[in-house]
A = this chain, B = another copy of it.
């Protein structure tokens, strides 16, 4: 936990962000070493503040309506090395170290594993670990 002085500072940088009508902002996770784009998810104010404080990616799950600590069930945590903001102040970029080398719930390195080829989406990137081994056979496919 931070002391009160740091908490005041934290509020300032969070106020810069232009949250959407749902109080959210898109956050892109990029592999800090390879430059690969791993995923895009959403953050609310609390999740971004926690992400900065803990230096671990913590998103807001829109489907479940709660904080989503990336890796909480998969073990595929994202250690945050850098947090960036775009010129319009409405998109966040995280440079992360991806634990296990897998960001996607399908067991692939990146969620962007499909490429448009001749009018069709083609899955080009390999599954590194099957979903059952990540979440267990009775588990959910998304964290």
Residue positions of A touching B, CB distance < 8 A: 6, 9-10, 12-13, 16, 26, 28, 30, 34-37, 39-40, 52, 82-88, 91, 93, 104-106, 108, 111-116, 118-121
A12: chain B residues at CB < 8 Å are 119-120
The binding surface of chain A is classed by DSSP as mixed
Q: How many copies does the complex hold?
A: 2
Known: A82-B115, A86-B112, A115-B83. A40 touches B28 (CB 8 A): yes
In this complex, which of A26, A119, A121 has the most chain B Cβ atoms within 10 angstroms of its Cβ? A119
**B84 A114 Cβ-Cβ under 8 A:** yes
Q: Are A26 and B40 neighbours in the complex by a CB distance under 8 Å?
A: yes
Q: Which of A6, A12, A39, A112 has the most CB of B within 10 A?
A: A112
Other than the known A85-B116, A91-B112, what 15 A-B pairs have Cβ atoms closer than 8 Å?
A: A12-B119, A26-B26, A26-B40, A28-B28, A28-B37, A34-B35, A37-B93, A82-B115, A83-B116, A84-B112, A84-B113, A86-B114, A87-B104, A87-B111, A91-B111
- Which residues on the B side are within 8 Å of A114 (C-beta)? 84-86
* Nearest CB in chain B to that of A86: its residue: B111
